[in-house]
Amino acid sequence: MSEELSRRVDSTPSRLRSLADYYPDGILGATREGVVTLLNAQGAALLGIGSEEALGLPLPEVLRLLDQDGRTWLSVNRPFDSISIVRGMPEQSWLNASGEEVLTTATLVREGALGQVVGIAVGLRSGRGRARLDRERSDLVATVAHELRSPLTGVKGFVQALLNRWDKLNDDQRKLMLTTVNADADRLARLIAELLDVARIDTGRLQLYPRESSAEVLVGRVVASIEAGTSREIRVEVQDGLPDVFADPDKFTQVVTNLVENAIRHGRGQVTVRLAASEALDGVRITVDDEGEGIPAELRRRVFTKFWTTGGSGGTGLGMYVVGGLARAHGGWVTIDDVPGGGARVHVDWPREDQRPE
């Protein structure tokens, strides 16, 4: 019986390492004396040492991470000398021997609530994910800056012309310039609202003020507004006897505006907007067709991700992400199909009653 117990005890570290190897991040464990007792495969790869080789070595020989000033992880954090209320270290950025960024966190194992540290567990993670996130943020900043610069340039130019040449311009010229400035200001306001909605959708803080609304009236207003600024034909077809929808009118308007503007931007020829009773739920189906190249079936799921764009038509790549988020927030959904004869068809099924997810 004692031999069996001995075998179980001896096999415990190897079993623990085997389980730890399944964890996606690196894990390092060490005793109060600074002896390494656990290092999984992911941690070993980041530290440039074999996981079996590291066992029993002094912690400074294994945890060879430096900051930008050449200081070691242990000399900066001094985990075994920390005051009794410290339970761990927050995420920090370090460099391994290969110059790769490694993100670390640490938990201190204490002897009792306020006792001395008897061991530490260090989490290790590659900084590549954070670098990718930083690149995405940089892409967002560049995209937003580009989208803001165009209307701001127009506003600045026309306002400057009005200030410098007011007496030389006739009323029609002034009105045209002010109309253009107003349109550019509306574009800026929509972009800012879109960015705010993206943040609110991501954090679950989207605020809605829904009520019974006429889809026909709201769609008519959107189409009239867009037609005033484009030469493209927008056709509207409305089925008789449609019920009202339960919607925040501003958000509903934003959804339809994004869909119609996308159809104009990416398609050619006529854009068609149809309102009909939804067969998928008790409500209304909004369908927007264009006469463009359509969206391949394998790409349709990507349309609803952030920063997805196609072709050279520009845009932030946030429009369809917002459309999908706002529709889901009301209890509806968005689907993409083909137009017979060519083009993209987008359906939005919107409920007539409160179907918002809890």
Going residue by residue through the chain, which has 358 residues, state the pLDDT in tens, using 9 for 90 and above: 344 433 443 444 566 566 777 788 899 999 999 999 999 999 999 999 998 899 999 999 999 999 888 899 999 999 998 888 899 999 899 999 888 889 999 999 998 878 889 999 999 998 887 766 677 677 667 777 777 888 888 889 999 999 999 999 999 999 999 988 988 888 888 888 888 888 888 888 888 999 999 999 999 999 998 888 788 889 999 999 999 999 999 999 999 999 998 888 887 788 999 999 998 889 999 999 998 888 888 888 888 887 776 655 556 678 888 999 999 999 999 999 998 888 899 999 999 999 998 7
CATH numeric code, 131-203: 1.10.287.130
CA distance 109 to 91: 17
Run of H or E including 169: none
Determine the topology of domain 211-351 in CATH: Heat Shock Protein 90 (3.30.565)
Q: How many residues does the chain have?
A: 358
pLDDT of residue 242: 94
CA angle 130, 135, 138 (to 5 degrees): 125
Q: Which among 273, 313, 276 is positioned nearest to 290, based on CA atoms?
A: 273
Determine whether domain 2-126 maps to CATH 3.40.50.300: no
pLDDT of residue 14: 61
CA distance 227 to 250: 19
* Beta-carbon contacts of residue 5 (< 8 Å; ≥ 6 apart): none
* Beta-carbon contacts of residue 265 (< 8 Å; ≥ 6 apart): 313, 314, 315
Phi, psi of 298 (to 5 degrees): -75, -15
Q: Which among 104, 96, 106, 100 is positioned nearest to 125, based on CA atoms?
A: 104
pLDDT of residue 268: 77
CA distance 219 to 60: 67
Domain boundaries defined on the chain = 2-126, 131-203, 211-351
Sign of CA dihedral 123, 125, 131, 137: negative
pLDDT of residue 10: 44
In the beta sheet, which residues pair with residue 351? Answer: 283
